[in-house]
Amino acid sequence: DAKTTQPPSMDCAEGRAANLPCNHSTISGNEYVYWYRQIHSQGPQYIIHGLKNNETNEMASLIITEDRKSSTLILPHATLRDTAVYYCIVRVQGGSEKLVFGKGTKLTVNP
Amino acid sequence: GAVVSQHPSRVICKSGTSVKIECRSLDFQATTMFWYRQFPKKSLMLMATSNEGSKATYEQGVEKDKFLINHASLTLSTLTVTSAHPEDSSFYICSAAELRGGRNIQYFGAGTRLSVL
């Protein structure tokens, strides 16, 4: 799996948009970008994933650059409950393909 | 999203005993499940890939005789920590891969915190 680079920590004010960057400059053509988050002492939660087009769901938006070497996860209106470690992972889309977790970004949403 | 149930959420045991952790996919079938371990303030580390009806694939450095994995059905995988010792104390998390409509997403259980005295 390609490696990803994320800032170790970020802060965001409650109600504002949180933009979490991820660099994956060695991503292969058949690798997807997945985002998960882990709230303290819980299992990771799936957020969103994409290949090359921008994606949006009820939780977040994923913006992938045209060269696919980086992406940004956007939480449009952050709440205190969004405080968590956010992981950006790239991998091929196969049922037996494992997820390799890096260190992620610790997002703290402040009141 | 799909639901993965993990039980128990917390277990405290004496050194030398064995502990079994269950991972169930509640509303989908999972031919592949994964077991992770997480130490405090560290990221998740994959221990093994569990395939229904076949032997698990263990990551390098993980003792297969100590961490027994059984994936007997499409909705249940179990991890047994045999002869547990204090250094096995950790947060164990399972995930199950849901394949639907060309999408492949892993959903995680809530985790099991194991404390070995």
Most distant CA atoms of chain B, gap in Å:
46
- Closest-CA distance of chain A to residue B18, Å: 23
Residue A111, Cβ neighbours under 10 Å: how many? 7
Q: At CA B112, angle to CA A44 and CA B57, rounded to 5?
A: 75
Q: Per residue of chain B (117 residues), what is the pLDDT tens digit? A: 689 999 999 999 999 999 999 999 999 998 899 999 999 989 999 999 998 888 899 999 999 999 999 988 999 999 999 999 999 999 999 999 888 777 788 999 999 999 999
Rounded CA-CA distance B106/B24 in Å is 13
Contact A96 B51 (CB under 8 A): yes
* DSSP-derived secondary structure letter, B74: T
Q: Which residues contact B40 (CB under 8 A, 6 or more apart)?
A: none
Q: Is A5 on the interface with B (CB under 8 A)?
A: no
Q: What is the pLDDT of residue A15?
A: 97
Instruction: Name the stretches of chain A with pLDDT < 70.
Output: 1-2, 94-96
The upper half-sphere exposure of residue B20, i.e. CA atoms within 13 Å in the direction of its Cβ, equals 7
Contact A44 B110 (CB under 8 A): no
Q: At CA A41, angle to CA A39 and CA A43, rounded to 5?
A: 70
Number of CB pairs < 8 Å for A and B?
56
The token pair at B45 is 């580390």
What letter represents residue B61's amino acid?
G
Nearest beta carbon to residue A96 from set B49, B110, B113: B49
* CA nearest to A42, candidates B2, B19, B6, B30: B6
Q: What is the pLDDT of residue A95?
A: 57
H or E stretch covering B38:
strand B32-38
Rounded CA-CA distance B97/B82 in Å is 26
Left if phi > 0, otherwise alpha if psi is -120 to 50, otherwise beta: which for B100?
beta
Q: Is A97 on the interface with B (CB under 8 A)?
A: yes
